[in-house]
Amino acid sequence: TLTPQLEDKDTSSLKDHELAQLDTVATLLRSDFLLRIRYILNEMHPPPVGVTCALEILIRLARHSHITALNISSTPYLLDTIVQNFIPLSIDQLAMQDTIKNVYGIPVVKAIKLCRVLVTYGKKPVAQKLDNFKIIQAILTYISSETRNNDISLSIESLRLWRILLHYEIGLDSVAGAQLTLISQLQLLLSNHDIQNTSELACEHAAALIAVASHEKTLKPNISTLLAKWSTQLSSVSNVTWGVMKLIAKSLSAVDEISAFKTTWLSNQHVFSNLRSSSNLLSDCNTTTDREPSCLPNLNVLTENGELQPIVSVHSCIPFLATILNTFHSSSRVAEIRAILEHPSFRKYIRELETTEWSLERSWYSRTEFYLLTAVVKSASLLGDTINNQTAQIVWRITIKLISSLPADATDHVRKLLQIALSNEKVNLEMITNELAKLDLASTVDQVKIGSHSDAASLYERYVTPNGDWNQAAMPKDWLFLPLVHMYTKCKNDIKLQSEDKDSVLTVLSLTLVLPDLMEKLSPTLRFSRLILVYLCDTIYLDRDVSTLLLNVLSNLLRRYHTRLNFQTELPGLSSFTDLFIALCEHFCSTSYGDDGYAMTLLVAAAQRHDPHYRKLLWSEHAAALRYLKLPPEKLVLPLKEYLYPEEDDTSLIESYMTALVRGVVRETWCPVPFTIALHHSAMYLKRSNRLAVRMRAQVEKLRNRDIADALLHYVPPQL
């Protein structure tokens, strides 16, 4: 639907001008706009252009929502007026007029389209209402007429409306009743419709005809014959257009047995030549943001440069290949699947998808490309070990990206991809066991041995957004860490953790350890901010297995990426990293018992490359934590240099350091790292010649604690 996203769904208290700024369609409906349209059409009898405009407005209103479509169809006498005047049972007047000056009593294509859109959005109640108007009789008249050359648009729209009525089981017997008409038209296609030299409009008509004919079993052989003809012709077509590919795809979807589908076209380079150029995900384009007001949203088929999105280009082969691959997968046509996946153009396409950051993910039109990629993943899974290993790796990485890209109304596909991505074949249990055995864990190895891929997949399936909107992703980019976020939320709400929560943590950490590709596209800062949530989940981090695994995962991350951490960047789900750091400090004091892994993690944000705000928080408001930061310097994952250089310039921090030293809050015996940090920055500052440094040095010289005084005054920085 094209309903604006409103924070407050209750708009009853808003005035018209206020509502108009939020939802134009809702404002029109509230102002009796539908009754006015009815009056114009019923009483004023506007000229053809006026009728067309009125119908187009109603079409746009119907696309607003299911409720709006029902409101339009149930407005007294509105639909009656439209059907009676613009979808007549007879086309005699159309045949008699060369120039149409009055469309009353003449079939109007826009009126039929309005009915189709109303059924699409209003569903079966609208379909039943149209059936009461005997609309299928009018449709049968239109599709069998040959009065004018330009009637093909009328016939196409009529067939489309008929098909959607059949979808809602309205007029099912009408197909059998029109069997002779349909057979004759299918025969005409067999003799006259060659895809090498046909128009896009003719292909649209043929596709619409086949979509209707597929509802009659006795017509399936006719469709199979056409499929054999067109799929054979496809092997020699040089200008492969959307209309041609749609026609073949529709025919393939209509038959029960795909043996009639010839695959010689797989060697036709022209079918695959536009694959890369018609990809939305590889287009490096952005959708328009300010072309249309938010109160009247559309599907944004244009990019920000005003061009059509690549996937809707006339030579786009992506919808065609999506249908073909899904059909091959359903029929287990292994040889044909392998031929597509190993086609040079297709391999190049998926290689780029693996390495490139995708564009237009939230575009409605990208759904078709997601449909293709989902088919690729399922088809590759069907091939199993027989697929090229490099191709298998590429497809697996695409699977990981797809999980967080598929729309929230495609949850079944997301669950299937999770099962494939976390399958036994990929999450090699022996490999995980060996990795965990190296860490000398107490019980995790046994747990993994008895576990299965379904455990990991089912763990993440819980977090798939149910019944979401098409313009939202079913899973976030950091879906790997969703169990940790969920547990953190439980703890914040004082909900006690259960034994299975530990299993969830171990699953997440194990996957993170042995399958780093799962988080390859996530920034190091986001990974770090998610992993440290374990320390805020009660005392689960004190469990030996969890502690060892978590320390290993964090150590690997920090050794590689500590220079890329940026705690000023916005993180999804976090108001600021500062809040998280404060929570870490408080939880460390209350539950950690000076745990070395926790201490190492807490000190990461206190490194000199990060904002001094974090160091101030640790050394002032949360100075009580310093006493328990007892880990020795050799257990620091970050180099000690990260904490000593560049030298501190913030005088308030220098004062905090010196206060902690003088008062004995930090001592080398019980918290060597904080002691080293405080001593280094304080002593190096005292060596400066500014007035504050001179005054501080004079005060240090008078200290009673001569050990601290001597350490500060005669400090020699370490050689790092």
Q: Where are the alpha helices (DSSP H) in 193-240?
A: 200-213, 220-234
Are 87 and 107 in contact, with CB atoms under 8 Å apart? Answer: yes
The residues that bridge with 303 in the sheet, in sequence order, are 287
Query: Which residue did the predictor score with more confidence, 632 or 7?
Result: 632
Q: Write out pLDDT tens, residues 523-582.
A: 999 999 999 999 999 999 999 989 999 999 999 999 999 999 999 999 888 888 999 999
Q: At 287, is the secondary structure helix, strand, or coil? A: strand
**Segment 643-688, tens digit of pLDDT:** 999 999 999 999 999 999 999 999 999 999 999 999 999 999 999 9
Distance CA 453, CA 393 (A): 18
What is the secondary structure of 456-521 as a DSSP string? Answer: HHHHHHTTSPTT--TTSBSS-TTGGGHHHHHHHHHHHTTPPP-HHHHHHHHHHHHHHHH-GGGGTT
pLDDT number for residue 93: 67
Helices in 562-620 by DSSP H: which ranges?
Answer: 577-591, 596-604, 612-616
pLDDT attached to residue 97: 59
CA atoms of 204 and 213, how far apart (whole Å): 14
> Is residue 689 scored above 70 in pLDDT?
yes
Positions of E strands within 221-338: none
Neighbours of 347 (CB within 10 A): 16
Nearest to 383 by CA among 431, 430, 420: 420
Counting Cβ atoms within 10 Å, is residue 290 exposed (0-12), middle (13-18) or buried (19+)?
exposed
Report how far apart, in Å, the C-alpha atoms of 687 and of each of 255, 649, 656, 661, 697 are.
87, 13, 17, 17, 8
Tokens 């041609």 — which residue? 244
Contacts of 316 (CB under 8 A, 6+ apart): 242, 274, 278, 310
Q: How confident is the model at residue 616 (pLDDT cuts 50, 70, 90)?
A: very high
- Which residues, in sequence order, are bridge partners of residue 302? 308
**What span, in angstroms and rounded, lies between the C-alpha atoms of 665 and 120?**
71
pLDDT at 205: 95
Q: What is the pTM of this model?
A: 0.88
Q: What percent of the chain has pLDDT over 70?
A: 93
Mean pLDDT of 182-192: 94
Do residues 700 and 709 touch, judged by C-beta distance below 8 A?
yes
Rounded to whole angstroms, the Cα distance separating 658 from 677 reads 11
Which tokens go with 543? Answer: 């469990």
pLDDT at residue 147, rounded to an integer: 44
- Is 60 exceeded by the pLDDT of residue 179? yes
Q: Going by C-beta distance under 8 Å and a sequence separation of 6 or more, which residues neighbour residue 300?
A: 287, 288, 291, 292, 363, 364
**DSSP 8-state class, residue 648:** P
Q: Is 463 buried (19+), middle (13-18) or exposed (0-12) by CB count in 10 A?
A: middle
pLDDT of residue 378: 96
